Each structure stands twice: as structure tokens, then as C-alpha cells.
Amino acid sequence: MKKHTVVFEPAGARCEINDGATLLEAAARAGAGLDSICGGSGICGKCRVVVQDGMQSLSAPSDAEKKFIGPEDTPVRLACECRIYGDATVRVPPADTLSRKYARKVSISLDPAVKKYSIKIDPPSMQDMGKGDRERLVEALRAQHGLSGLSLDYSVLKGLQDTLRKGRWDVTASVWMGREIIRLEPSVPGAAYGLAVDIGTTTVAAYLCDLGSGNVLETFSATNPQAAHGEDVMSRITFAITSPDGLSVMQGEIRDCINGIIKETGLTPGDILDMTVVCNTVMHHIFLGIDPSGIGAAPFVHAVSRPLDVKARELGININESSYIHVLPAASGFVGADSAGVLLALRPYSRDEKVLIIDVGTNGEILLGDRDGVYSASCATGPAFEGERIKFGMRAAAGAIERVWIDPDTEEPSLEIIGNTRARGICGSGIIDAVAGLFRAGIIDKTGRLRLEPPRTRLEPPRAEDLPHTERLRMDAEGRPEFVLAWKEQTDTGSDITVTQADIRAVQLAKAALYAGTKLLMRRMGMERVNRIILAGAFGSYINKESALAVGMLPECAPENISAAGNAAGEGAVLALLNIGKREEAQRETAKLMHLEVSTDPGFQDEFLAAMDIPHR
């Protein structure tokens, strides 16, 4: 079959692709990292590229494309709809790479799984020819550091003689769990580094730590490239089941993503000696290359609950090849190792007062309890809180509208934009503010309907004075209602940034799922009200508490008793990296969790429908 070359700028990534393939397929092959949260079905409009050369080699815009690109956007194409019939060069717009997944500074006594030991070994002589270098090394570690029963990883054994002689019998051994030598260096040792990784459905965050000092040196983040196959965990399961090699494709994508982060640290891969991972159960299975189909249907059983230690080379992760990757335990259903991380960071099992912990993300996870017991649940909130499935949605990057105030009297919005620059779109915290502001100003009613027409009832005829009086409320070109947050003169895109009726519905669906799951847990524990709420996750750290209460995303609670904990799952991964006792604690406390499967609870549908109203019924 005829092949064509496609180049993706500014990275210069390129590939050869078959005639008739889409630009999205070419981007995946080239590693260009395009977003396509709808899995390439042409309904999200996120996979835009700018054609720099070879427009004549591409298919004409499809009807799906025309919904997202106007006449002024001639060089702009949707990669999932645009087919290739010749060589082309396209530019990928700046990625929304500013992640807010920052772990808090941790304070913990250091006891990492990997420790370094400097040793001096007596060189061999003709008098002790029968003693091998391995035995000399092991005996020296026992005599000088009290370590006994040590084994050597095979790759260390292969390079043992060369390393000992290069170091003139003065070497440093990196030992895992006091049991296995996983690295041997000549003479003066370098620093020991570890990496804690939080694999989210939408975002991957990593924390580079110094295992000697316990300091978190740097935070890294990237978009989970699996988003090209769908926005939520169920779409990833579907892709794994229905697509040839779907599981291996997604495992390769997350492996390459993590390896890209490791490369970004600037360290030699061998210097990273340990790694911990948290993630939900579907991401857990895909990362490990385990078929996730069992999680996709009742009784939602995953392959393994206990924590795992897997050699880095088995997973293709470019840290020290002999090192282990520790994956924290999964709990039940869709409550995975990320909840184990949240448990470690926030420790609800040690509190006297019941606390509600909500880890807000594409897959919302909920913990409720105290020292007498903790319940867990998960709910598919979708990506609206991440700025996805929103017409002008984007991640929390420069140019994202992150705060919105709408004056109830003038109906005029005030905006706060990340980076103090011109607006490019709106992120999750901004869309929650916008919906809350529209409701307070009477521009939407309790059902979420944009009020372009007054309500009509048999008893009361329509009255024009009931309508909002703002030119910002209008019909779009296809006759659908929308509210203009920023006029095109105020934006960096040359087009108005609006909140559409579909955007409001996406927020309602997400918040209703979260609220319904929370209410079911409260009912299970016999609670009418919670006195303390902790919001975990990147989105939870930046959401306006009053806006979240106003739209009915959270149960009633005094705002002063609602706090944010940052990326608690990532913080838990850091704790497990720096102290092996935390790994045991995670296993112990995760096993005690009492799980409620929300999706099969007979009360879920009623709670969900009631929660669709603003704030709720």
C-alpha cells in the first residue's frame, strides 16, 4: 500500500503512514500526543492541528469538522476526521501542559526501600582463589553493615567483576528491602533518587524525590496519551476488548509517557533506584498489561488486590533496570491504588470525627469514615471537571479562565485567567464558577436551562420581563442557546468563548454522579449531614467552595469546614516511596475498607436524577 510522510511540528516528530489513514492515527504512530477525548469519533473537537504544508494532500473537511472549524480556520483541521493522501506537515497547538497535580510537602521519617552502602573489599589473592567475587561482596556487606542473606540481581552479577576492578575494590551497593543488591557503583556514590507516579485517567503526575534527604525535588506532568481512545475508564476497557492489540497499545502509550517524564528529569536512568505507582484499577491493569475486562461488568472484579513489586525491565520503564516498581494495593471495583494513596496522605482511619474525602477527577472516588471504619465508593463523573467535554474547555494552563463572577444585577461576567493573559478557553474550576454564577443571576433555571424564553404555564402567560436582559445570552449559528463569557476581542483565539447548553448539561451530569455517590455513602452510614469535607485531586484544590455548593456538587456543609488537600493520591505515592512502613500501612488499611458499589445500588438512579437539578431536588 502507498505510504506518505507526515511531520508534526514543533517537535519534529514524523512517521510513514498508509494512504487514507487519519492524521490522528499518524500522530499516535509519531508520538505527537494529540488529545482526542472522544476516541476519534469526531464529536469533541479537541484534536485540532494547523496544516503548514500539504493541504492538497488531505481530504476535504467533513461535516463533523465543519461543526468545529469556521471559514476563517481554513488551515485548521480535526486530526480524527482528516485523511492523508500525500505528504504533509502540520503543527500541534501548544499543549495544555500546566498540571496542578502538586503533592504537598511531606514530613516523614526516612526509611526508603532502597539504601546505599559503601564497602571496601579485600582484593583476591592466590591464597583464596576458591572464593568468587559475589561471595566477597556479600561477606563485606555482612561484616561492614550487618546485612545478611543478600542476593544479587542477574544484571548486577553480569557486571560485577568489571565494577569491582574499576572501583579498585571500593564500591557502593544499592540494596532493596535489605534483601537484594540492585546496583553496584565504583567508588564515590551519587545521590539515590526515586520517582512517585500518579497515573490518572486524564493526567499523569510524577514526583522526583531524593531518597537520602526525603525532599521532593521536582514535579512533572503529562497528558495521559490513552485519552485518544476515550475519555473515561469504560472507554479504555472497551478499546482493550474490541481493538486488536488494544491492551498492548495502551500499555505502550503509558510506558512511553512515563519514560518521557523520566527523560525530562535529566537524570541517567540508572540513578533512579525506586518507583511507586498509584492509579485507579483500570489504569492499574493497563499499566501492568493485565486484561481489564473483568472490571467492566458486574461483579467488577479486578485481577489482584494486594500490592505488587515488579522489575522495571519487565514493564519497560527506564529507571535502573534491576529496580522494582511498587504498585500500591487496589481496594475493590473501581476504587484503586489511588485511593490507597489518599488513605495514606489523609488517614481518615485515625480521626475521631467522620470526614468525607472526595478525590475529584474523571473517575471520582469517595471515602467516608473515621477510626471506627471507612467506606469507599467510586462514580464515573466524566472529564467535565478537567475542562473536557466542554466546547471551549481546556486544562489548567496559561490562558484558561479559572475564576468567573457574574453580577446578578448587570449580568456581566468578571474573569480571572491563568497567566494574566488573553483567554484561550475555560478549565474545570472556571466552568463550575460559570454555572453557579449563571444560576445566581437567574440566567439558567434550576433545571440548568438557559432562559432565552420565559417559562410557560397554563396559569401564567409568558412575560418578557422574566427574561435575562443581556446581549451575552444568544442563539449560536445552529440555533442552540449559549452565554458569552468573553468576546472575541478579549480572547487569544479570535472567537467568542461561550458556555453552551451542552456544557451546562455536562457539568450537571458530573456533579449529579458525584453527589449521588456521596449521598448513598452517607445513607449507608446513617448520616444526614457531614461536618467536614476534604477535596483531593488537582481540581479539588482550585475549585471555589461556594460555587461547588451552589451547583449541588457537594452535600451541605459549612464552607469553613471544606478544605483542599492537593493531589493526595500523589502524596501517598511519595510517602510509600520514602518509608516502607507506609507500604504496609496502605495494604492494611485498604483491606479494611468497606466498599459500596454505587452503580448497582437500587437507590442510585433516584439520587442521580434528583441531583441533576441545581443545586439538587
Using DSSP's 3-state secondary structure scheme, residue 142 falls into helix
397-406 burial, b if ≥16 CB within 10 A, otherwise e?
A: bbbbbbbbbb
Q: How far apart are CA 332 and CA 316, in angstroms?
A: 27
pLDDT digits (tens, 9 = 90+) for 570-611: 999 999 999 999 999 999 999 999 988 887 888 889 999 999
CATH entry 3.10.20.30 includes domain 3-91: yes
Q: Which amino acid does the sequence have at 283?
A: M
Cα-based angle 573, 368, 436 (whole degrees, multiple of 5) = 95
Where does residue 547 rank: exposed (0-12), middle (13-18), buried (19+ CB within 10 A)?
buried
CATH entry 1.10.8.60 includes domain 114-186: no
In this prediction, residue 97 carries a pLDDT of 39
- Check for a shared fold between 3-91 and 114-186: yes
- Domain spans in the chain, listed from the N-terminal domain onward: 3-91, 114-186
pLDDT digits (tens, 9 = 90+) for 360-394: 877 788 999 999 999 998 887 776 776 667 889 88
Q: Which of 500, 469, 498 lies closest to 486, judged by CA?
A: 498
In this prediction, residue 466 carries a pLDDT of 54
Cα-based angle 143, 147, 149 (whole degrees, multiple of 5) = 110
- CA dihedral sign, ordered 374, 286, 579, 102: negative
Q: How far apart are CA 52 and CA 263, in angstroms?
A: 29
Beta strands in 381-412 (DSSP E): 400-406
In this prediction, residue 468 carries a pLDDT of 59
Q: How far apart are CA 43 and CA 117, in angstroms?
A: 56
Instruction: Tell me the H-state helices in 379-476.
Output: 428-440
Q: Which of 91, 282, 262, 264 lies closest to 202, judged by CA?
A: 282
In this prediction, residue 104 carries a pLDDT of 53
Q: How far apart are CA 340 and CA 536, in angstroms?
A: 13
Element of type H or E holding 277 = strand 272-279
Report residues of the chain scoring pLDDT below 70. 10-12, 31-33, 35-39, 44, 70-74, 93-106, 130, 188-189, 383, 386-388, 453-469
Q: How far apart are CA 310 and CA 325, in angstroms?
A: 5
Q: How far apart are CA 549 and CA 527, in angstroms?
A: 18
